[in-house]
């Protein structure tokens, strides 16, 4: 089965969160204490949700689809707002939330799930999206890719 754009990014994110939770329960002995666990989680989640919502708002403003799998609904190339800094702010938002969970659980094994999330998203979601957008918007998207990073 080809995985390209088959699993919605939110599901990939939730799988990552679940694996972090299970790892923390099973290998909790690897966790270490630090006094700003909760504050770290709250800060990262607020930052992550904020960045992701800015991405959604930009798409809504341009009246184009937020749905990452149903690419036929894409009607415009969004390069303003938060998209001036990242081509994938919604995924960056999920990344920040995962970082917050790692900081909260303080379990170094959970860093692996961030790396797997980024790898999976690049390979099976972002690269296919980029191919679609290059086909749809041509030179406009190619130029945009040259000036704005994929993640940060």
Residues 6+ apart with CB under 8 A from 103: 34, 37, 40, 41, 44
Of the chain, the end-to-end C-alpha distance in Å amounts to 31
Q: What is the mean pLDDT of residues 4-17?
A: 95
Q: What is the pTM of this model?
A: 0.94
Range scoring the smallest mean pLDDT among 31-35, 48-52, 130-134? 31-35
Give residue-wise pLDDT tens across range 42-101: 999 999 999 999 999 999 999 998 887 777 789 999 999 999 999 999 999 999 999 999
**Helices 139-147 and 127-137, axial angle in degrees (round to 10):** 130
**% residues pLDDT > 70 (the chain):** 99
Number of neighbours of residue 152 by Cβ within 10 angstroms = 11
User: Per-domain residue ranges for the chain?
Assistant: 36-147
Helix (H) / strand (E) containing 106: none
| 151's tokens | 């993640």
**pLDDT value at position 1?**
56
Number of neighbours of residue 35 by Cβ within 10 angstroms = 7
Number of neighbours of residue 41 by Cβ within 10 angstroms = 18
């Amino acid at each position: 089965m080809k995985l390209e754009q088959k699993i919605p990014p939110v599901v990939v994110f939730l799988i990552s969160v679940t694996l972090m939770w299970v790892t923390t329960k099973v290998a909790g002995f690897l966790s270490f204490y630090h006094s700003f666990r909760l504050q770290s989680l709250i800060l990262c989640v607020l930052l992550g949700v904020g960045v992701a919502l800015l991405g959604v708002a930009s798409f809504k403003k341009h009246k184009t689809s937020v749905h990452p799998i149903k690419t036929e609904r894409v009607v415009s190339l969004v390069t303003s707002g938060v998209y001036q800094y990242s081509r994938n702010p919604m995924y960056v938002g999920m990344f920040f939330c995962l970082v917050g969970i790692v900081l909260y659980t303080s379990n170094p094994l959970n860093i692996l799930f961030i790396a797997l999330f980024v790898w999976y998203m690049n390979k099976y979601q972002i690269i296919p999206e980029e191919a679609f957008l290059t086909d749809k918007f041509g030179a406009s998207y190619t130029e945009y890719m040259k000036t704005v990073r994929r993640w940060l």
